[in-house]
Structures are given as structure tokens and as C-alpha cells.
A and B are shown apart, each in its own frame.
Chain A
Amino acid sequence: MKQLTTNIFLLFFLLCFGCNKSEIIRPPQADESNLVATQALTDTTMRAMEGIYKLSSGTDVLGKQFVCKVSRFRVSFFSDKEGIFIILKYGLKVSDSSIQFSGFWRYTEKSEQGKIQFSISKANGATDLLKGIVKNLAVTGVDAGNDMKLQYDRAFSAAAINKNFMIIAHHGVQTTVDPPYAENSLLGVLHDEDYGVNGLEFDIRMTKDNVPICIHDPAISTRLTVKGPISGSWDQYTFKTVSDFITLIDGQKVPTLQEALNAFIDSTKLTYFWMDIKGNNDVFKYLEPIIRNAYQRAAAQKRNVIIFAGLPSDEVISELHEQPSYADLPTLCEQSVDRAIENKSKFYGPRFSQGLLLNDVAKAHSNGIKVISWTLNDKDLIRNYIQNGQFDGFITDYPAYVVYDIYTLF
């Protein structure tokens, strides 16, 4: 009797408190006072400052060595310390010829974050940077009253650049702990580039009226959505019903694949878009016109993009074969390198737990197939796979680790 009571109590406790879902924690609203009346600079100009920076003086609370990358509208620093990253808006202050930065820093595996301001004075190389000269460039910053100075150390090595490593955001988010945006959301598409990735992995499901939407779980759940009046699986509802009654946990709407691709092409410089096909009947029939339109849209903007469909199972491969006209569009086979060759996939995507797979990767490469391992989140494993593997890319929730290692290990 006592045993039964204890077991019931334990079960009740687990049911009530066993799951603790992540919350959305937006980046802090930056103090942009230093950006007032500054002139916009193009990312092409700012790209000259990409490279490795070392802390030359001041506090090391955010790390001692940083990788600097420039995205479309932001400059980002990736630290050697606990995957800390810094994302900054920028502008040219004409009055003193300085470049001002404002933004936030955040840990990769903790939701701890804060505001930060940086600047490059004329004396520290701001004017030279505008001419593409970075030899004596130094960035000074203030974090919570502590000064720091990051000195430009070196450009990225040719080996690192030539790797063209694919860093793909898992579900389009940048962390599993209290992420800044809902997964598979348009805000993720718009901001992921700032977090160091060059590609997105989005989950694709179909609604009852055959609209491909971006959502992971097979059924409506409060893990991903605000509680609303409908329940069940996504393919039991029309897109209109989903749109009317479902809101993602951060208030966004569930995007259609079309909307996600439009944002990906029009508003980012990202290259890769992995559609993780969750498997619905005739899925490729409905995907094909959307993907072809997306390629046309990208071509019109002279954007070089690769949109590939994941083939995780025999069922999805069968669906692919039901739509022979899809054959010239790229796919990623997750099953084995042989099946990737057999299905003429451009990519092979083994699960990380399968190991380095050196022979399989070599076989894939000899057949012109690129290999993307998924989903790598462990810091040590990421470093091990980069140093000892031959992969062409990773899916990760923690791109800051990958970016730092790719540009500092080579």
C-alpha cells in the first residue's frame, strides 16, 4: 500500500513537473544612442573587417579571441569563451570619422545576454577600413562599464575560406535554450545569418488543402504554439484554419514554405535551404512548383541558392519517385551513401551518432556528393568532427561553436 501510494505520488509529480519547455527570450533592445545620425555602410565595405581578433586590453569576460563575420546588416563576433557571440548594428559617424556599433552579446548554451556598444575610432583604423585596409584595426567596446579592446590579428586563412563549410541552422533557430525566435519561423529566416550560419534547415508538412507549411511536430502542441482552440495533426486542417487559430509561441504565424523561401531569397544572403520533408502523400507534386518558382526568383535577383529536399525514409523516397519531374532538383538522402548515389542526391546527410564515416564521406565526394552531418551541438564533438572529419557541413543549434572553430582551426 505504501509502495503504491509512493508510486502514484511520484508519477503525479513527474506528470506535473517532468517537462520544462524552453521559452523565447528575444535579444535585448540595444542602446543605439551612439548610432544616432550615423550614415549607413554597406556590408561589402564592412566585410573587409572579417578576420580573427584578439583581446589586447580590458576585461576578458566575453573572451580573449574572436572570429569576426559580417552578415547583410550586422557585424558578429564569435568568442573562444563558451560560445559567446556578439551581434552589432553599425553606422559611420561623420563628425569624427568613427564607426559606431551597438547590439548585444549572448551565451550559446545559456540565455544570459546583455547590451554592448563598440566603436572604431579614426585613430584605430576606421578611415582605413573604409578603404579596405585593416592592418592596425582595433575595436573598442564597453560591456557593463568594463572597457575592452579587440585588435585585428589576421585574416581568415585560405584553407578556412576554401572549405566553404555549410553551417545550417537547425529549424532556423540559434540555440535550444530559450531561443530568440520560434523555430521554423520567418524571424528566424531574417536573423539567422547574423548568428553565423549560411543555411537553414526547415521542417515541411502539408495542410489538408496541400499547402506546404514549416512546422516540426506532427500534431499541434503547446511546445511550438500558443494554446488555441484546435488540436490534431496539421494535415487535418486547411491552411486558412491554421492561419486563423494557430500562433507560434513567440506570436508569429506558422509560415508557408513559399513565405519562408521568399524571405530567404529576398532578405538574406544565405545560400542553403534544407527542406526536412516530414512525409505527406504527393508532397513533391506540391513542392515542385514552389521550388521552381523560388529558383526563378533567386535567379532574377542574381542570388546563388541551393534548395534541397531531405529524403529521410523509404516512404519519402517513394513519394519522390512518384514525381519524376522533380528529379533535376537537388535532394539530400539521409539513409546511406549508396542510397544517395542511387537516388542521384546532391547531398548525403548522416546522423552525427554514426561517427566520422570517413569511407562513406570519401565515397560520396568521389561521386560529387556533399556530406552534411546532423545535428551537432556538443562543443567537443563539433571540434573533433571539424578536425578529424571530412564533412562539408553541419546542422547545428549552436553555430557559434562551428564558426569559431572553422576559422581558427584552419
Chain B
Amino acid sequence: MRIFIVYIPCLILCFMANETVAQQPDAKPSKFTLYAGLGPNYYFNNLGVGKDQVNELNYAFVARFMWEPEYFLSIGFETGYNKLYTVKAGQGTVNETHIVNAAIPLQGVVTMRFFQHFYGSFTMGQSILLNKVTSASKGEENASTFSMSDFGVAAGYKKAIGTKWFLGTELKAYYSGKLQDRNMGLVFMAGYRL
């Protein structure tokens, strides 16, 4: 899996370099687009400990950098902040504890256009899992770890607004292999062609 951490960014850089060189003589429009989005998500609660104390409804931010040629396929890199779930344990006691779990994906993206405005995408790579435990008795404990085999699939719709901007939405399922976390989010996206 580690090979993808190196391979995918290198691949993107190669494409970028190629494009930069290629654009100079005839000044074609850029094929690089930045997307940002946010929206609610739902965590598929599979906890064995503390299952009843989980808040499944949360939110995610997404940032995506894409190389979008005239072909059906485009590739890029995705990151963001995916709040997976929160837990409130021992409420009303001296041991009341609040736990927040989130993932920062660092993943490659492959997107394929199916119709004029519809596309599907597959993301794969690693995520940084963040865990924050806050309790009255113990204070704050912050932890992080890497999840190496994560992926997501999405189906989306986007529409160009003028020559530079895009608006769209996508339904996105995310899976993190380290602790078998799964959620699904509805992300509202805006894109800007560089």
C-alpha cells in the first residue's frame, strides 16, 4: 500500500509537469481544477464497545485537486476532514467523557464521467485517524494513527457555471481499513478551474 503514497502523488506531478510544458506554445485552458465541499454524513455504527453512546450524524469537508483532460477519466488528489462519529459516555457522572473520531484522508482519486454531468469516482490511499478524548477527570487525550488501506466511492453530479466555476453534489461512501470505519456523506461541492 505504501507504494501508492509515493506513486500517486508522483503520477500527478508528472501529469502536471507535462501539462505545464504542453500549455506554453498555444496557451490551452488549464485542465487543473480545485474542488472544495462540505456536507453531512452518517456513520455506520459497528462499535462493540460504547455502541449505544455513538452519535452517527456528523459532517465532512472535502478538498480535491484534479487533472481533468478532455477524456472520460480524470485523476487527482483528495484530502479533507471527515468527522466519523462522537461518543458521550458516563453522562452526568464524574467520569463523563466525550470522544471525537475523525479521519483526514490523503488519497488518490480516479473519476470517470458517465454522462454530460454525472460521474463516478474512486479514492484510495491512507488516512490519518484522529481521536480526542475529553473527560472531567483525566483532561484531554489526543491520539492519531495512520490507516493505510482506505478507500471511497462516490457518484456525483456537477455543472459548469461560466468557464471557471463548477457546482455539484456527490454521494460518497468512505471506508477506513484500520478500524473498519464506514460512513456515507452527501457533499456539496464547488470547483474552480485554475
A residues lining the B interface (CB < 8 Å): 8, 11-12, 15, 208, 219-222, 226-233, 236-238, 240-241, 244-247
Contact = CB atoms under 8 A, between A and B. Distances in A.
Contacts of A12: 151
A245 B48 CA distance: 10
A221 B149 CA distance: 13
Given A15-B151, A221-B178, A231 B143 contact: yes
Contact of B99 (A229, A238, A247): A229
B131 interface: yes
B179 A244 contact: no
A237 B180 CA distance: 21
Contacts of B97: 241, 244
Interface in B37-84: 46-50, 53-54
Contacts of A222: 179-180
Contact of B89 (A226, A236, A238, A244): A244
B133 A230 contact: yes
B49 to A, nearest CB: 4
B122 A8 contact: yes
Given A15-B151, A238-B141, A229 B87 contact: yes
Given A227-B179, A230-B131, A240 B138 contact: yes
B54 to A, nearest CB: 7
22 contacts: A8-B110, A11-B124, A219-B178, A226-B48, A229-B47, A229-B49, A229-B53, A229-B85, A229-B101, A229-B131, A230-B133, A231-B101, A231-B178, A232-B129, A232-B131, A232-B143, A233-B143, A237-B141, A241-B97, A241-B135, A241-B141, A246-B49
B168 interface: no
Contacts of B99: 229-230, 245
A229 B151 CA distance: 21
Contacts of B85: 229
B179 A221 contact: yes
B24 interface: no
A231 B179 contact: yes
Given A221-B179, A237-B143, A231 B129 contact: yes
A1 B124 CA distance: 18
Contacts of B49: 226-229, 245-247
A9 to B, nearest CB: 11
Q: Is the interface of B mostly helix, strand, loop or mixed?
A: strand
B144 interface: yes
A226 B85 CA distance: 17
**Which 8 A-B pairs rank lowest in CB-CB distance, beginning with the nearest?**
A232-B143, A226-B48, A236-B143, A228-B49, A229-B87, A232-B145, A229-B99, A231-B131
A15 B177 CA distance: 8
Given A229-B99, A231-B143, 15 more contacts: A8-B122, A228-B47, A229-B85, A229-B89, A230-B131, A231-B129, A232-B144, A236-B141, A236-B143, A238-B138, A240-B138, A241-B97, A244-B89, A244-B95, A245-B89
Interface string B85-113: 10101000001010101000000001000
Nearest to A247: B49
Contacts of A241: 97, 133, 135, 138, 141
Nearest to B49: A228
Contacts of B129: 231-232
B18 interface: no
B142 interface: yes
B57 to A, nearest CB: 16
A395 B137 CA distance: 41
A344 B80 CA distance: 52
A222 B54 CA distance: 18
Contacts of A246: 49
B124 A236 contact: no
Given A230-B133, A246-B49, A208 B141 contact: yes
B7 to A, nearest CB: 13
Contacts of A226: 48-49
Contacts of A245: 49-50, 89, 99
Nearest to B99: A229
Nearest to A209: B138
Contacts of A247: 48-49
Contacts of B122: 8
Nearest to B54: A229
Given A227-B46, A245-B50, A219 B149 contact: no
A220 B110 CA distance: 31
A227 B145 contact: no
A15 B129 CA distance: 18
B44 to A, nearest CB: 12
**Central interface residue in A222, A227, A236, A241, by most chain B CB within 10 Å:** A227
A405 B95 CA distance: 53
A51 B142 CA distance: 56
B189 to A, nearest CB: 23
B180 A227 contact: yes
Contacts of B50: 228-229, 245
